[in-house]
Amino acid sequence: MQTAIMRMPVPILWLVPVLVCAFMWGIRAFERLNLYAPDQELGGTPDEHGLDGEEVLFTAEDGTSLHGCLVRAKGRAGQPGGRVRGQASVILYFHGNAGNLTGRFARAAALASGGFDLFLFDYRGYGKSRGRPSEKGLYQDGRAAARWLIARGVPPERTAYYGESLGCAVALQTALELPPGALVLDSGFTSVKDMARVCFPRIPLHLFVTERYDNIAKVAGLRSPLLIVHSAQDELIPISMAERMFAAAPEPKRFLRALGEHNDPFLSARVRGVCAFLHEHLRAH
């Protein structure tokens, strides 16, 4: 007896793989649309935002040209921290999935007021950085930014990585490869698969995820002091994900319960908590 597929006309047989490929392409495009929302238009310069800063160009290991901005601690002139004993420590800032680094100038100002230099950079495809974003590519960009600081004489023990939302995944991966003096994960998630379950509970999109950012599987390997910051009012990423990350992470670690929704501006209590943690762990050497 012939099976149903054997009785199919030949053109229909050709159509099956075409439809499968179209479906997978559509899922992939939908995934990228939800993961990455870059903006190539910059929202001004550091000077226009009242910051003491300068633009930086550097290159990822695959040759991709990247753009960053070095912001000096409030009231401190000169070169980035780490070259002279007593200078400010440096926060390497990994921003979230939308916009570009200029949308983080207000956060940079708040952290700079705590006595830290900051190095903000754009992932590939964001702002002036070239290329197209991907999980592999963003990890390369994080390594390149960390190595840029090291090459400028900033020792890792005087550097903190600060991850925001999607940037938590990039900061964590960078911390595993190039351990800093401290790591801050602000409003992060456990994995893209878990986020797919949260955002689309009735559609099994998690089965088709290709960009994984599997933070929950990685955090146990961390060797740097960790501060997790999250708000119970976060409407995008549930605080339960932060609690799972905290439980899986090794000591030393601390959990800061913040206020506000996912994209709310920094509140003073959050800034004080973050700065206190970093001052504790980024001591002069």
Structure tokens at 114: 């705590």
CA-nearest of 123, 102, 6 to 45 is 102
How big is the chain by its Cα radius of gyration, in Å?
21
* CA–CA gap between residue 270 and residue 128 (Å, rounded): 30
Q: Which of 122, 191, 234, 281 is catalytic?
A: 234
C-beta of residue 230 within 8 angstroms of C-beta of residue 239: yes
Structure tokens at 62: 């695959």
C-beta of residue 239 within 8 angstroms of C-beta of residue 267: no
Active site residue 262: yes
Q: Which of 39, 262, 264, 279 is catalytic?
A: 262
C-beta of residue 187 within 8 angstroms of C-beta of residue 165: yes
Active site residue 234: yes
Structure tokens at 258: 């913040």
Structure tokens at 45: 């310069």
Q: Which of 165, 187, 224, 231 is catalytic?
A: 165
Active site residue 52: no
φ and ψ at residue 6, rounded to 5 degrees: -70, -25
- Omega of the bond prior to 252 within 30 degrees of 0, cis? yes
Report the catalytic residues: 165, 234, 262
